[in-house]
Amino acid sequence: MTPATTPALTLNNGVTIPALGLGVFQSPPEETTAAVETALRDGYRLIDTAAAYDNEREVGEGIRRSGVPRDEIFVTTKLWISDYGYDSALVGFEASLRRLGVDNVDLYLLHQPVPTHFEDTISAYKAAETFLAEGRARAIGVSNFGPEHLRTLIDSTDVVPAVNQVELHPYFTQPALRELHAELGIVTQAWSPLGGVLVYVPGADESHGPLTDPVITDLAAQYGKTPAQVVLRWHIEHGFGAIPKSVKPHRIAENFDVFDFTLTVEEVAGIDALDKGVSGGPDPEQLSPETYPKVVDNS
Ligand code: NDP
């Protein structure tokens, strides 16, 4: 496993982003440094964190401990909604850089649209445009934006988002949104690429996720790979970005060992057909400071 084997996607400003990276949502801070260090030693070159994950410091520490030069690593972080509005976004961004211990990030995302305060969402994005102009973010984008808010944001700002990071796995494949991304030149990056959200939501059990679906497990048996590897290969075949999360070294390695096999067009279509069209996560259009009062501490 070497970095050279990681396919890259080209963003709309020419910057390249590894197609596969490590996510750290719900990675406990005390396990995050080791997870990041392990991933980078295994060949990962993309780490996806967020101010709201409360582990940016540990991500930074993992990067430093890995010994991999900073300029070989693609670091994504996200602005949380408690820092929306132009001036607040400046504070939130500075705080993320400080916690990560870096001078710039490779991708800076608005974590969510806030439909009830959309002017603040737009102002936060305008602040992100200045980080891009200053070179403190190599690319900027959004997360969890549906078509309407994506179009409104684009109509109100100068820089088309490079990425929209959205829930995407074999049970929720988002074909309409992906088509819009293709039309607008936006890279689709999958969160919960393994369907994790279907498993860790309260009340769920492991049998709800795609990793136990017979279509996936049969392909895994056929190729001598694991269900997670088949699902991640499906993301790669489609040209999505994917950022699976694990804090377990054997799974971190497993999730990156997907470059020695391919799926046929028919097999990809067979996985596409598993789509249930139902999101496992909370409806992004319902999210607001009132419904989700988490505040990031930037002190
Ligand atoms: P994933 O689909 O990555 O699933 C993660 C879950 O699957 C964890 O419980 C993990 O457990 C387990 N797992 C990991 N690898 C394997 C494997 N090979 N076999 C079996 N189980 C496995 O879901 P996430 O929701 O965590 O999404 C991934 C990343 O996407 C996040 O870390 C974050 O970076 C991003 N994200 C972004 C969101 C947004 O709003 N922008 C929302 C949610 C996620 P364990 O750690 O114990 O291995």
Which atom of ligand 1 is closest in space to residue 284's alpha carbon?
40
Nearest to 273 by CA among 127, 136, 150, 173: 173
pLDDT for res 205: 66
As given in the structure block, the two tokens for residue 271 are 């996985």
CA 196 to centroid of ligand 1, rounded, Å? 5
Question: At residue 2, does pLDDT exceed 50?
Answer: no
Residues within 6 Å of ligand 1 by CB: 23-25, 48, 111, 143-144, 165, 191-197, 200, 211, 226, 228, 243-248, 251, 254-255
In angstroms, the CA 299 to CA 286 distance is 28
Ordered alpha helix ranges (H), 157-248: 175-184, 196-200, 214-223, 227-238
CA 182 to centroid of ligand 1, rounded, Å? 25
pTM: 0.97
Please give the order of strands across the beta sheet that includes 107-110: 22-23, 46-48, 74-79, 107-110, 140-143, 163-167, 187-191, 241-242
Determine the residue of 171, 194, 243 to mutate for testing ligand 1's pocket, defined as the one with the most ligand atoms within 8 A of the Cβ atom: 194
As given in the structure block, the two tokens for residue 262 are 């391919």
CA 87 to centroid of ligand 1, rounded, Å? 32
Q: Is 53 one of the catalytic residues?
A: yes
CA 119 to centroid of ligand 1, rounded, Å? 31
Q: Provide the percentage of residues in the chain whose pLDDT is more than 70.
A: 97
The overall average pLDDT reported for the chain is: 95
> Which range has the worst mean pLDDT, 127-141, 192-206, 230-244, 253-267?
192-206
Render pLDDT for 157-183 as a digit per residue (tens, 0 to 9). 999 999 999 999 999 999 999 999 999
Domains and CATH numbers, the chain: 3-194+239-247 (3.20.20.100)
Going by the DSSP 8-state scheme, the letter that residue 33 receives in this structure is: H
Closest C-alpha residue for ligand 1 atom 26: 245
